[in-house]
C-alpha cells in the first residue's frame, strides 16, 4: 500500500489534482507489484530446494535396491536405507504442501504478472485518455475503475491464500485424527472353556505378566496397542502341576479381538 495519504481535492487547480491522484494510484500499484516480487523470491527458493531434495531422495530410494547385488548381495542395509530415503522425500513433499511454498510462489508470481500487465495497459490507456478534452469527473472515475481492478486482483490472491490455509489445516487435522485412530488401543476377549479345571491361570502378553484369572472362563485384556500380540497362559492345578498354552492374535485399533484357548491338562 502507498505510504502517502490520499490526495485531497483541489477546486483551484483540477488538472494538477488529477495528476497527483494519477501518481498516487500508479505508485500504489507499483508498491503492490514490489510486495509480491519480494515475497515471491524466498518462496521460489524454498519450493525449489524442498522439491529438489525430495526428488534426489526418491531417486536414491529407488536406486538402493538395484545396487545392492552389485555392492554386496547379502547386504540388507541398502534396501532398508532406500525405504528411509523415500519416506523422508515424501515427508518433505508433505512439508511443502502444508506450508504452501510452491503454491505461494506460483500465486505471487501470477499476481505480480497480472498487476504488471494491468498497469502497463492502464498507462497506455491513460495516455489516450489525456488526448481528449479534460474532465475531472471522468478522470477520477477512470482512476477509480483502475484502482478497483487492482484491488480485485489482490483480493483474488488473498482469497486463494485463505482457501489454501483452510485446506492445509483441514488436511493436518485429518492426518492427526487418522494417526490417532490408527494408534487407538484395542482389547482382547479371552475365552478359556476349561479354566475352572485349574486353580489359577496366569495370563502373559508378549512375555510380560498381564493378569491372573480364577474360577471364570472369560476375561478381557484391555488397553492393548494395535498389532500382533502373543497371549500365553500358565495354568496351575491344586496339586501344583503347570500347563502352558500360547496363541498369536491380531488387534485392530479401537476394536476387540476374540480368541479361545483350551489348555491341555498335564497327566
- In the DSSP assignment, the letter for residue 267 is -
Angle (CA) 223-196-228 rounded to 5° is 30
pLDDT at 124: 95
pTM of the predicted model, to two decimals? Answer: 0.59
Least confident of 111-125, 164-178, 253-267: 164-178
- Rounded to the nearest 5°, which phi and psi values hold at 61? -65, -35
165: number of Cβ within 10 Å: 11
The stretch 48-73 carries a mean pLDDT of: 76
Cell of 148: 478497483
- Where, residue-wise, is CATH 2.60.40.10 in the chain? 186-260
pLDDT at 79: 61
For residue 224, count CB atoms less than 10 angstroms from its CB and return exposed for 0-12, middle for 13-18, buried for 19 or more: buried
The stretch 164-187 carries a mean pLDDT of: 79
Say whether pLDDT at 3 is over 60. no
pLDDT at 225: 87
pLDDT at 141: 95
For residue 79, count CB atoms less than 10 angstroms from its CB and return exposed for 0-12, middle for 13-18, buried for 19 or more: middle
Class of domain 186-260 as given by CATH: mainly beta
Using pLDDT thresholds of 50, 70 and 90, give the confidence band for residue 74: low
Using pLDDT thresholds of 50, 70 and 90, give the confidence band for residue 219: very high
Least confident of 158-162, 182-186, 208-212: 182-186
Say whether pLDDT at 163 is over 90. no
Say whether pLDDT at 92 is over 70. yes
Residues of the chain above pLDDT 90, percent: 40
Using pLDDT thresholds of 50, 70 and 90, give the confidence band for residue 204: very high
The stretch 214-234 carries a mean pLDDT of: 91
Using pLDDT thresholds of 50, 70 and 90, give the confidence band for residue 148: very high
Least confident of 30-34, 47-51, 106-110, 149-153: 47-51
Cell of 239: 496339586
Say whether pLDDT at 52 is over 90. no
pLDDT at 25: 95
Amino acid at each position: 500500500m502507498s505510504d502517502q495519504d490520499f490526495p485531497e481535492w483541489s477546486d483551484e487547480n483540477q488538472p494538477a489534482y488529477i495528476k497527483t491522484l494519477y501518481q498516487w494510484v500508479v505508485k500504489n500499484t507499483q508498491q503492490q507489484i514490489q510486495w509480491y516480487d519480494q515475497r515471491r523470491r524466498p518462496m521460489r527458493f524454498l519450493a525449489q530446494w524442498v522439491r529438489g531434495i525430495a526428488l534426489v531422495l526418491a531417486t536414491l530410494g529407488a536406486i538402493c535396491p538395484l545396487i545392492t547385488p552389485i555392492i554386496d548381495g547379502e547386504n540388507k542395509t541398502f534396501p532398508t536405507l532406500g525405504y528411509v530415503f523415500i519416506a523422508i522425500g515424501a515427508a518433505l513433499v508433505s512439508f511443502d504442501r502444508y506450508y504452501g511454498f510452491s503454491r505461494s510462489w506460483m500465486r505471487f508470481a501470477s499476481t505480480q504478472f497480472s498487476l504488471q500487465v494491468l498497469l502497463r495497459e492502464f498507462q497506455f490507456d491513460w495516455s489516450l485518455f489525456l488526448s481528449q478534452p479534460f474532465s475531472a469527473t471522468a478522470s477520477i472515475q477512470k482512476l477509480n475503475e483502475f484502482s478497483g481492478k487492482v484491488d480485485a486482483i489482490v483480493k483474488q490472491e488473498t482469497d486463494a491464500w485463505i482457501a489454501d490455509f483452510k485446506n492445509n489445516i483441514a488436511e493436518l487435522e485429518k492426518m492427526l485424527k487418522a494417526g490417532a485412530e490408527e494408534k487407538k488401543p484395542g482389547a482382547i476377549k479371552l475365552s478359556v472353556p476349561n479354566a475352572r479345571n485349574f486353580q489359577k491361570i496366569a495370563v502373559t502378553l508378549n512375555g510380560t505378566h498381564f493378569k491372573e484369572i480364577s474360577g471364570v472362563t472369560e476375561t478381557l485384556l484391555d488397553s492393548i496397542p494395535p498389532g500382533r500380540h502373543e497371549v500365553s497362559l500358565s495354568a496351575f492345578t491344586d496339586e501344583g502341576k503347570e500347563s502352558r498354552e500360547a496363541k498369536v492374535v491380531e488387534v485392530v485399533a479401537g476394536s476387540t479381538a476374540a480368541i479361545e484357548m483350551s489348555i491341555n491338562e498335564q497327566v
